[in-house]
Chains A and B, each alone.
Chain A
């Protein structure tokens, strides 16, 4: 059971905008930064968003993050086939790290 709750799956068609939610509590999202990771099959996770809404260099601006209260969201606009992957949110929680359970994004 993950401390951060994500929907297990999401889907969209090419060009669409999809959002993935991450629900937590005051001890994690409510008081700490949120991070998002993308994991392609058979590879290590890749940092997508840090400190709620910042993109590392090289990450397309199609990816954006937001946070409000004890919830956060990852939005992907202009969906592409290569965006099909697993997405994880993460936040510090009372002296330990917490990952969401992950959301499998399917591009139809």
Chain B
């Protein structure tokens, strides 16, 4: 069965970086985009970007350009999202979600369990 398992909760200081992993199983990792979506406490969903695990190509939301890096390791079917220069308003649950390799498909049929990142001094 398809599973996306994310790394555990993180506590970071302002200005630091965080790297969240998302290990995929039960399907062909390179056959689907991996998207990253975050949700601040009590707030809505916010799309951060996506990576094509086959090519490594990425698209990032303008808001995160220059601060976010999405990578993958196809040998272990794992996607990564690194966010740098953390601020307190980056405190959120970060989700990975897979979607078909169609350009505008937001068909997120499987999601990770979420990773809480807390930014606090």
Residues of A within 8 A of B (CB): 2, 32-33, 35, 37, 39, 44-47, 50-51, 56, 86, 88, 90-92, 95-102
- Residues of B contacting A39 in the complex (Cβ-Cβ under 8 angstroms): 45
Q: Which residue of B lies closest to A44 (CB)?
A: B111
Complex: how many Å from CA A35 to CA B45? Answer: 13
> Nearest CB to that of B6 among chain A residues?
A44
Q: Which 7 A-B pairs have CB atoms at the shortest separation, nearest pair first?
A: A92-B104, A97-B47, A44-B111, A102-B44, A99-B45, A50-B107, A35-B106
Instruction: Please name 18 further chain A to chain B contacts, defined as beta carbons within 8 Å, in addition to the given A47-B108, A99-B47, sorted by A numbering.
Output: A33-B104, A33-B105, A33-B106, A35-B108, A44-B111, A45-B45, A56-B109, A86-B44, A88-B45, A90-B45, A95-B59, A96-B59, A96-B62, A97-B35, A97-B47, A99-B44, A99-B45, A102-B45
The count of chain B contact residues (Cβ–Cβ below 8 Å) is 23
Tell yes or no: B61 within 8 A of A by CB.
Answer: yes
Question: How many angstroms from the CA of A88 to the CA of B106 in the assembled complex?
Answer: 12
Query: In the complex, which residues 86-107 of chain B have their Cβ closer than 8 Å to any Cβ of chain A?
Result: 95, 97, 103-107
Residue of A nearest to B96 (CB): A44
Q: B94: shortest Cβ distance to chain A, in Å?
A: 11
Residue of A nearest to B47 (CB): A97
Residue of B nearest to A100 (CB): B44
The answer to whether B113 and A44 touch across the interface, beta carbons within 8 angstroms, is yes
